[in-house]
Amino acid sequence: MAATSQSVQQYEVRNGRNQYHLIPYIGNKSGFSHIFDDLIPDDAGGGKVVDVFGGSGAFAIYCCFRFGSENVVYNDNNPVLTNFVTSVRDNVKGLIREYNRHRARSSTDYFLKIRTEPLTGGLRGAGRFLYLAKNAFSGKIRFNKKNRFNAPMRKSSQCPALSEERLSDISQRIHHMEIFNEEFEKFRDIRHAFLYLDPPYMNNTNGHYNQVPTTESFAEFVRAVSPHNRVMISEQNEPAKIGIPKTYRVYHIILRRSLQYVTQKGSTEIIAVNYNMRRRPSNV
Ligand SMILES: C[S@@+](CC[C@H](N)C(=O)[O-])C[C@H]1O[C@@H](n2cnc3c(N)ncnc32)[C@H](O)[C@@H]1O
């Protein structure tokens, strides 16, 4: 399963506005679909495919499009996100209605008021979150440690319309996807799965997420799951710094966009995998 040496193959990421894009979110991987096409084996969907740090769900959604949703699992420890993704899956029409209700009343004061209201607990919370997410400054959704949404409103006072067709399509595609609101350690004992690990950047806490795992806990988790599963890891740090074993094959990613992802264009990160691809990646 394990590759024998690290390599320095490279990908570029330019734009993430595609069918896998659900919400603007820091770390959103919808722009990585060409990389996933290359680096995720065709038989990955034969077993469980788990998006352990799911965020906006770009990876899980991609996998539902590619493999069908029966074996796909989305997880995030932030209940605001899991409540939202659940509403997309189970009641997209209601969610669109909720959003449009907020849109009709949108203003800076209204945004600040909605920020103080619950973002969990079903459809109402999900509608508020979607409204805040679509109107956050620079698309940078941010939560404080108490899980309160604390991003300011975007400069333009125009609340954008939803891409209702895309949202409805995603809803259909993720119909059977399982959704968990767990700590990543919960998946420690999983076997014969494909795991995607996209943790908040460790050693570089930019304050966007409610929580960041310690490098020790992440490294321990990677050591525990690697012998029994195919694992793909996204990170900004060099592999050794966060305990990714030397046996992982490493690909370098250059980010050509800044919005919703990093604060500066041209920054880099890595994808590391613990398996060999049968075919050679095409786009490196
Ligand atoms: C880099 S983001 C993932 C972005 C995602 N791949 C996407 O495309 O939107 C990391 C996510 O990990 C979640 N997270 C932070 N600590 C966690 C933990 N201990 N267990 C599970 N999820 C966690 C955060 O809420 C955040 O959504």
The pLDDT tens digits of the residues spanning 162-196 come to 999 999 999 999 999 999 999 999 999 999 999 99
What's the pLDDT score for residue 284?
A: 47
**Ligand 1 pocket residue status of 185, Cβ below 6 Å:** no
**pLDDT the model gives residue 154:** 86
Q: Helix, strand, or coil here: 112?
A: helix
Residue with tokens 């973002």: 119
pLDDT(204) > 70: no
Q: What is the pLDDT of residue 259?
A: 42
Which of the listed residues 209, 215, 217, 269 should we mutate to test ligand 1's pocket, taking the one with most ligand atoms within 8 A of CB?
Answer: 209
pLDDT of residue 4: 37
The average pLDDT across 216-224 equals 95
- How far, in Å, from the CA of 76 to the mean position of ligand 1? 6
Q: What is the pLDDT of residue 230?
A: 98
Would the CB of 74 count as within 6 Å of ligand 1? no
Q: 226 to each of 36, 160, 238, how far by Cα in Å?
A: 19, 42, 18
Q: For position 213, what pLDDT does the model report?
A: 86
Which pLDDT value is given to residue 147?
77
Using a 6 Å cutoff on CB, does residue 77 contact ligand 1? yes
Q: How confident is the model at residue 266 (pLDDT cuts 50, 70, 90)?
A: low
Region for residue 279 given its phi and psi (left: phi exceeds 0; alpha: psi -120 to 50; beta: otherwise): beta
Q: Is the CB of 76 under 6 A from ligand 1?
A: yes
- CA 14 to ligand 1 centroid distance, Å: 22
Candidates 86, 91, 132; CA nearest to 112 is 132
Q: Are 256 and 12 in contact (CB under 8 A)?
A: yes
Residues 129, 25: Cα–Cα separation, whole Å: 12
What integer pLDDT is reported at residue 32 of this predicted model?
95
CB of 102 closer than 6 A to ligand 1? no
Torsion, Cα 192 198 204 208, to 10 degrees, reads -140
Query: What band does 279 get if pLDDT is binned at 50, 70 and 90?
Result: low
Give the residue extent of every domain in the chain: 9-83+173-273, 91-166
Q: Does ligand 1 have an atom closer than 6 angstroms to the CB of 53?
A: yes
Mean per-residue pLDDT, 222-228: 97
Domain 9-83+173-273: homologous superfamily in CATH: Vaccinia Virus protein VP39 (3.40.50.150)
Which pair of structure tokens corresponds to residue 176?
């059977």
Q: Which residue has the higher pLDDT, 238 or 116?
A: 116
Q: What is the pLDDT of residues 56-103, one digit of tens each?
A: 999 999 999 999 999 999 999 999 999 999 999 999 999 999 999 999
Confidence (pLDDT) at 70: 98
Q: How confident is the model at residue 236 (pLDDT cuts 50, 70, 90)?
A: confident
Most informative mutation of 17, 65, 76 for ligand 1 (most atoms within 8 A of CB): 76
Tell me, using a 6 A CB cutoff, whether residue 16 lines ligand 1.
Answer: no
Tell me how far apart the alpha carbons of residues 270 and 268 are, in angstroms, rounded to a whole number.
Answer: 7
Per-residue exposure over 8-20, b if at least 16 CB sit within 10 Å of its own CB, e if not: eeebebeebeebb
Cα 219 to Cα 223: distance, rounded to the nearest angstrom: 6
Please check the confidence at residue 263 and state whether its pLDDT lies above 50: no
Which pLDDT belongs to residue 168?
98
Per DSSP (E only), the strands in the chain are: 9-13, 49-51, 72-75, 178-180, 194-197, 230-235, 249-255, 268-273
pLDDT of 282 > 60? The answer is no
CA angle 234, 238, 241 (to 5 degrees): 105
- What is the rounded distance in angstroms from the CA atom of residue 71 to the CA atom of residue 179? 11
| pLDDT for residue 265 is more than 90 | no
54: CA distance to ligand 1 center in Å? 5
pLDDT of residue 1: 36
Ligand 1 pocket mutation pick from 49, 61, 63, 77 by most atoms within 8 angstroms of CB? 77
Nearest ligand 1 atom, CA 29: 8
Question: What band does 210 get if pLDDT is binned at 50, 70 and 90?
Answer: low
Q: How far is the CA of 81 from the centre of ligand 1 (A)?
A: 9
Rounded mean pLDDT of the chain?
88
Residue 134 carries which side chain, given as an amino acid letter? K
Look at residue 268 in the predicted model and tell me its pLDDT. 82
The 10s digit of each residue's pLDDT in 20-31 is 999 999 889 999
CA gyration radius, the chain: 18
Tell me if 28 CB under 6 Å of ligand 1: yes
pTM for the structure as a whole: 0.91
Select the highest-mean-pLDDT range: 142-146, 208-212, 225-229, 239-243.
225-229
Q: Is 36 in the pocket of ligand 1 (CB under 6 A)?
A: no
Q: Tell me whether domains 9-83+173-273 and 91-166 share a fold.
A: no
Q: The CATH number of 91-166 is which of 2.120.10.30, 2.60.120.10, 1.10.1020.10, 3.40.47.10? A: 1.10.1020.10
- What's the CA-to-centroid distance between 105 and ligand 1, angstroms? 31
Helices 164-173 and 79-90: crossing angle in degrees, nearest 10, is: 90
Query: What is the structure's pLDDT at 106?
Result: 96
